[in-house]
């Protein structure tokens, strides 16, 4: 695929990752999300027609609540290895950010995934292929609304229905929607669906 063919794809990926970050409660401008393809080309594509993915890197801070930052790193390597992960970690260390997302055009090697596990005590690292982000699955009409409960809301829910965590239906960490929202083990989401009789009804799932 030529650089010119890649531009529309990366425009869609860039929009989705900004939507993802915003949906997680971080500050993202509407201009970044609503940017059209022509503006994207003007901003990121050189006169020679090439796009340097490093120009797409960005960081954001949480809009409300405890101070937290997230950094999104666009890799230009089709097969992400340990070297790329080290490069990303050095940027996180320099920026003093402990939460990072790497976006890549191809795949990730088993060794690179081991870095994510090995660094889990210090850094929260997530990975998405560009294919994962071509379409925002949460905007699909068939995907119900997901809302992450706060720890207090979770306690209230369990007390109200006299439930133990193990009694809640589950959602896997690898579920596409769970990955989109960055759900972690033990977190609970409220899932709201339309109902012909009740208008809307809610169910709850715990991430495991």
Q: What is the CATH number of the domain that holds 162?
A: 3.90.940.20
CA distance linking residue 11 with residue 16, whole number of Å: 9
Q: Are residues 160 and 172 in the same domain?
A: yes
pLDDT for 5: 77
Joined tokens for residue 30: 């509407």
| Tokens (6 digits) for 141 | 């009409």
Q: How many residues does the chain have?
A: 208
C-beta of residue 105 within 8 angstroms of C-beta of residue 129:
yes
Could you tell me the CATH number of the domain that includes residue 90? 3.40.1340.10
Residue segments in the chain with a per-residue pLDDT below the cut of 50: 1
Which of 111, 110, 80 minimizes the C-alpha distance to 101? 80
Q: Looking at the structure, tell me whether residues 34 and 94 fall in a common domain.
A: yes
Element spanning 115, H or E: helix 110-118
Q: pLDDT tens-digit profile of 65-120?
A: 889 999 999 999 999 999 999 999 999 999 999 999 999 999 999 999 999 999 99
Spacing of C-alpha 67 from chain mean position: 18
Q: Last residue of some domain: 104, 135, 166?
A: 135
Q: What is the pLDDT of residue 4?
A: 65
Q: How many domains does the chain have?
A: 2
Percent of the chain exceeding pLDDT 70 equals 98
pTM, two decimals, is: 0.93
Question: What pLDDT was estimated at residue 188?
Answer: 98
Q: Sign (positive/negative) of CA torsion 169, 175, 181, 186?
A: positive
Contact 200, 192 (CB under 8 A): yes
> The domain containing residue 123 runs over which residues?
3-135
- HSE toward the beta carbon, residue 173, CA cutoff 13 A: 8
Domain boundary among 119, 135, 151: 135
- Report pLDDT for 3: 58
Residue 30: per-residue pLDDT: 96
Residue that is last in its domain, among 135, 159, 189: 135
Q: Is the domain of 65 the same as that of 89?
A: yes
Identify the pLDDT of residue 31.
Answer: 97
| Residues 146 and 66 both lie in one domain | no
């Amino acid at each position: 695929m030529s650089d010119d063919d890649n531009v529309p794809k990366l425009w869609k990926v860039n929009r989705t990752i900004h939507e993802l970050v915003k949906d997680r409660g971080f500050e993202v401008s509407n201009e970044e999300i609503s940017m059209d393809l022509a503006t994207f080309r003007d901003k990121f594509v050189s006169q020679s027609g090439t796009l340097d993915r490093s120009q797409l890197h960005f960081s954001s801070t949480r809009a409300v609540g405890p101070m937290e930052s997230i950094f999104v790193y666009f890799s230009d390597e089709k097969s992400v290895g340990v070297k790329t992960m080290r490069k990303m970690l050095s940027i996180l260390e320099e920026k003093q950010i402990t939460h990072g997302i790497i976006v890549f055009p191809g795949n990730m090697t088993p060794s690179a995934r081991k870095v994510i596990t090995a660094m889990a005590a210090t850094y929260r690292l997530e990975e998405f292929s560009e294919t994962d982000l071509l379409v925002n699955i949460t905007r699909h009409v068939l995907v119900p609304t997901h809302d992450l409960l706060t720890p207090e809301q979770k306690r209230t829910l369990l007390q109200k229905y006299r439930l133990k965590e193990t009694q809640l239906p589950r959602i896997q960490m690898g579920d596409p929607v769970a990955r989109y929202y960055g759900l972690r083990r033990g977190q609970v989401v409220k899932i709201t669906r339309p109902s012909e009789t009740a208008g809307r009804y809610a169910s709850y799932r715990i991430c495991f």
